[in-house]
Structure 1
């Protein structure tokens, strides 16, 4: 399906649904009221980040302010629109870091370049169980392991896309999207034209939700390439006396191919946990598999910072694959939320020189202040494993304050 076909399909669906909506609703907001009753939001995030690595790079320091301004119209016969802009700037001259787009390469990386850009701009139509969007938008599916907004970085990831969702009832819904541009976190320098198809269907049971998905990704370039992933996820919880039990199992298979190569890899995730007296404890196993030590399972559209440690050592899966065995605990204290996690990393298919991929400790505390404000601190300490794995000991510290109106 190309871009024109996807746009035509959504337009047809919108027009058909609008006919039904006009016949059924004589009290819709007027077109003028759709704007006057719209809502403007301001989202500010001031953050200090420090990165220290055991290599020749200089320690990095960055103080950045992200400002996000957006406006959403009210509904007009099911139609609405959103437009938003995003700006990220260094503050007080604290900019001693490699911004990942070519500035200050002698420092460690803090991937928050200075940028002002269009964050979102889409037209939406919603009627009964149907919702469709055309334009630049945030797409976050499930836990964002495969498709997400990378919201941790100051310049979040969005997509130029056509998306459609249909909820058959409260339990069953399906999503489809055609992405023709990936607006990544590196200003506009590393944005990618694409021809991606994303399918997702979920069904809620009494004790969890089962989701099936297919993500067929392709960079829009002259050379042949494809990254096709199919999988199924089950996530749920159940009450047992005073304890809530948590569980997850997920499996996916992936094929990466070009004109000259083809690789296959599997993904497996298992997680179990419990909530007792306000404290949540979890243990998990995640395996991003390898194809004979030559290719590692890849999730290029994911919110990768959420997974495999906050120091971001494994934004790209090693060709030997990655096994992450982890444990976490978190709860409430002094009006805020705290968390502690430990990760042990190993190769899925080890070589003679690469097996131990290191370990990491993560600690965080976040506290809301009244309704509109929030402050937080986060720390990540990565300890490298085998030298040939190409990693070094890394410490990262974040301090931030945010406001949203």
Structure 2
């Protein structure tokens, strides 16, 4: 399975993946998921929000145990973030069938759509829509860098955008959702192949708009400029300093510039901030401090600064009894928090959720260098199989 999926959407230039929502590579990943489901005799289903489901047992049954993750990527992302969870889910089911496990509850494997938000700027679109966290009206306003609207992209890919929306009946039939994911960061020790998640830090994305004045780079005196690039650059440095002092994280990883000419002073710089902290109060204060510093610098530069919050996820404490049950099943596996968002975090408000992490020896993620050792991946399959057997075969 891993070898089949590995080339899909991979850039020959960077070695990274460009599996973005509703593009050609995404369609290939979806076709692969459907093929895997049908090859195992599972009931394949595409829900109203574009999420894919593979069911063993009655899809309408109560108390279903669900596992899975996502197949899309960040721009030039790694091979493991998302796909490891989906591949491991099918492999865990294969292992349980080899054990002749007797299922007493429906079991499903899911591929949530547009988890990374690489194309339309909002993460976990498929699970957010299902949970009612993102409304259809909000989704219809999302556009990619080329101005393509989300509903238009969905329609071109064969999905009915008019059907999107909350799916409480489906979520209400789920007894537990367990997502396996490659570790992001490096916290598991060398002899710890698998860990259990305790919580997800609160996190969000904010857009900073720096409005200046376009002018000629070769003729405009420095004192006569209203250069938004200066304000933006100062804000990037300020964000790093303030995040370090707060024990939090703040990253400007995306930027757009108008008119984007080499010999032109910019009229507008847009920078997207990703920020995360251990608690919501710290995160709120940090973003306010970054905004204040940007505004103060903007006054000196003659630049107007506007701030728009594009997405936000509060702190997620995974279901305590379920988390503890996983740790016991895995004979005291380490329990650790994460700063990365996941579909499991979005669903946690509606469904008992938990996560397993597979050790990442380098700690690198969202990069072609992302990696997990084969032995640890196989240990992850075994752990997931043990967890699913405990939950779905009792």
- TM-score with structure 1 setting the length: 0.23
Higher strand share: 1
Whose helix fraction is larger, Structure 1's or Structure 2's? Answer: 2
Q: Which fold has the larger relative contact order, with Cα–Cα distance below 8 Å and residues 6 or more apart in sequence?
A: 2
